[in-house]
Amino acid sequence: MAKLFFFCYYLSMENKRKITELILSVSTLVFAFLAWQSVRDAIIVPNSSTWVVPMIFFSVYIIFVYLGAVLLRNDLFLRIVLFGSLLLSLIFAFELLQFLAILLGGFFLFLAVRRIKEDMDFNLKISIWKSLRAGKTYMLIAITVIITMQYYVVMSNFDGEKKVPHFDASFVTKKIAIPFLSSVSPQFKSLEDETLTVDQFILQTQKDAAGDNNFLTQQNEQLLDAQIPANLSPAQRAAIKQQAMENFSNAESQLSKKNQELILVAGRAQFSDLTGTVLTGSEKISDIFTGLVNNKIDQYFNPGMSGEEKNPTFSMILAAVLFLTIYPIGSVMSILWFLIVKFVVLVLLKTKVLGVKTVAVSKEILE
């Protein structure tokens, strides 16, 4: 009787596992289709989302891929499902380049799955997080390569008004561009100080351009010495010289203050013309410089331009920038994906869809 109960329980559990694997496979294909479609829509469909919707669909798709790598036992069936999910992108970008990207992406995707499964096989205790991390890099490369190529193919073949995603280059500007400019020209050294205001930058630049005033001071002293009568005593000459120098210094200070006000007004006006907004001078110069770079990028990737009006290299540059943007975003999003996969596996264990058993293993060691 006990054996019959155990057999029925095992059969029921096996059926649950098969149903789960089937649902997982179908869901992977469905969300793969929606993900690739969102890439196409992000470019050619007006009022469509260029980041949020594709990110949601690809997140769900990647979660299902990770679950497939963890749960599907038939390796051949898993490879067929995954490669089929990649081939769906051909529906929206039917080009040889896209097919080659799918082959390359599929290679990295299979590497990711193999790394995950190998890590699970080698672990003495199940660690979903650790196993998923083993395949993360290959997974991100696979998805990023295919997304980038689909963008490139669709952008190259579509003659209508194209939509492009907004790129925030502030991180790259602050961490790469500004240090590079500082190393090339000392004039940009002050941009590394994130607390420096526009007014301070203008005055510092003017001060560097004016140079040292010690030479002028020495000339003034020599002129004063020539004007003081020679028949005066040294004490009288020193007193007259000191008073004259104080008067000259006060006049120079007032003139310098007036010049600074004029320089600040002119400098703010120039920066205001560059940014297109009225500046008060209290803004951070690093933020202003970063904003200028972002504006130039936005002007180049102008979604209002289409067809022959666009530079032939536009699609290629966009694809390269997109690749460098998606991969870091995926690295951050992987934390959320891993948490969701781990939670789903935990739910499946609690509902008895999955089970954990301990098996004896044998391995070779050196004596």
Q: Residue 22 pLDDT more than 80?
A: yes
Q: Can you read off the two tokens belonging to residue 192?
A: 């590394």
Pick the more confident residue, 57 or 230.
57
306 vs 294: CA distance, rounded Å: 21
Specify whether the CB–CB gap between 33 and 88 falls below 8 A: yes
Q: Can you read off the two tokens belonging to residue 105?
A: 């992406």
Taking only the tens place, the pLDDT of each residue in 79-115 is 999 999 999 999 998 889 999 999 999 999 999 999 9
Q: What confidence score (pLDDT) does residue 132 get?
A: 92
Taking only the tens place, the pLDDT of each residue in 282-315 is 777 767 766 666 665 555 555 444 444 345 466 6
**140 band by pLDDT with thresholds 50, 70 and 90:** very high
Q: Residue 226 burial (CB < 10 Å; 0-12/13-18/19+)?
A: exposed
Q: What confidence score (pLDDT) does residue 297 get?
A: 56
Q: What confidence score (pLDDT) does residue 276 get?
A: 73
Q: What is the mean pLDDT of residues 150-166?
A: 70
Q: Which residues contact 234 (CB under 8 A, 6 or more apart)?
A: none
Q: Can you read off the two tokens belonging to residue 36?
A: 């690739």
Beta-carbon count within 10 A of 187 CB: 13
Q: What confidence score (pLDDT) does residue 191 get?
A: 63
Nearest Cα neighbor of 313 from 94, 92, 152, 160 is 152
The whole model's pTM is what? 0.62
